[in-house]
Structure formats: C-alpha cells, structure tokens
Amino acid sequence: ILNGQYQVIYIAPERLLNRDFLYISSKLNIKLVVVDEAHCVSQWGNDFRKSYLNIKDFVGNIKPRPVLAAFTATATEDVKDDVICTLGLDNPNIVTTGFDRENLYYVVEHTTKKDEFIMDYVVKHSLESGIIYCATRKNVDTLYELLSANGISVGRYHAGLSNEERKRSQDDFIYDNTSIIIATNAFGMGIDKSNVRYVIHYNMPQSMENYYQ
C-alpha cells in the first residue's frame, strides 16, 4: 500500500480502529472514500456494526478532505437523512433509483399456527434453500429443535452461540451442507449465496426497512 501498488483498497470498517492501518492511511494521498452498505451508519450501524460510526472521524482526519460517496440499496427518507448527517456529507448529489426487484415476490400470511405453516412450507420446498428469521434467540432455538426433530436439514445462527458454532452453521449453509438456516438478524450481512429461494420472517419485523433489509 505504501509503495502505491494498489489503486483501490477495500476494508471492513473495523479496520479503522487498527493503529497500523491508521498510520498507513495517514501517509497516503487519498482522493475518494466510498462507504458501501451506508445504511449501517444509521440504525443498522448502531445495532450491528458499531465500527461504521467511526467513518466520519476517519475521513475528517484525512487532509485534504477526500470526496466521500455512500451507497445503499435500502434506505427510507429518515435513514437517508441520517446517513447524510452522520457522515457529514456536504451538499451531496443524491441519486435514487427504485427499490423494486422484479425477481422477488412478497407476501404476508395470516396464521395462528406459525410452526405448522413453516413445517408445511419447508417440506413442500425441500429441494430449495431458505432463511428463516426470528426476533429472539429463544425462538431460533425452539424452531431449530422442531425442524431438526422432524428430520429437516437445518442450522441456526445467533449471538448466544460460540464463534465456532456460528461459523460452522454459516459455512454449512453457504456450502449446501444444510438447506435451511434459522437466525436472528445478526445473520445475513455479506452472505453471498445464489440459490436462496425464500426468506421467512417468523416474527414481524419492527419496520418496513428492517423487513426489506
């Protein structure tokens, strides 16, 4: 990096707390800083990736100040305003496209028997890969036990599991050793899995943005 061999450096926001990286970056003539998943500096950053909140100070310490760009596929008007404020964007040029994805279908099921609905759904879609989100660890564990007891190939992911357990569950899901994963919303950021065919929310998300994210 110091020898100028790289035109683009892609880092996780946690790297902004690393002294070696901060020293290296102070020696560079940085022209542009791009924030991907920029909604994380708003509500999602406070809940999940607190390191996103260090970006503003990092950019502010670069002299002269570089151009700052922020990108996200999901942001309500409130989140957009929060991103602009939190990152300290100065009179930004805002480009907004649509949120609609023609290949996605959304539906709300009214049922008082959620466990039976999910069991029936995953059996009917046994050849497909899916994610089931729950609001609490307890719900994740309860639903995981139910599906496992019925011979369903399933994993689970939440903050109450050890790092090894979470990594094993995530890897098993990514590499198709299990077809379904039940998780809290801590799961999913950065997951690149092309054959996911359904996402079920066992509990109602707190907002439309949470649902869409």
Q: Is residue 87 helix, strand or coil?
A: helix
pLDDT, position 59: 92
Asked if 190 and 178 touch (Cβ cutoff 8 Å), the reply is no
Measuring CA to CA, how many Å separate 183 from each of 14, 133, 140?
Answer: 23, 5, 6
Closest CA to 39 of 77, 78, 13, 72: 72
For every one of its 213 residues, what pLDDT tens digit does the chain have, with 9 covering 90 and above?
989 899 999 999 889 989 999 999 999 999 999 998 888 887 655 566 778 888 989 999 998 999 999 998 777 788 889 899 989 898 899 998 877 778 888 888 888 899 999 999 999 999 999 999 999 999 999 999 999 999 999 999 998 999 899 999 999 999 999 999 999 876 766 677 889 999 999 998 877 767 776
pLDDT, position 174: 92
Measuring CA to CA, how many Å separate 57 from each of 86, 88, 94, 189, 208?
Answer: 10, 10, 22, 24, 30
> Number of H helices and number of E strands within the chain?
8, 6
pLDDT, position 75: 76
∠ CA 204-85-11, rounded to 5°: 80
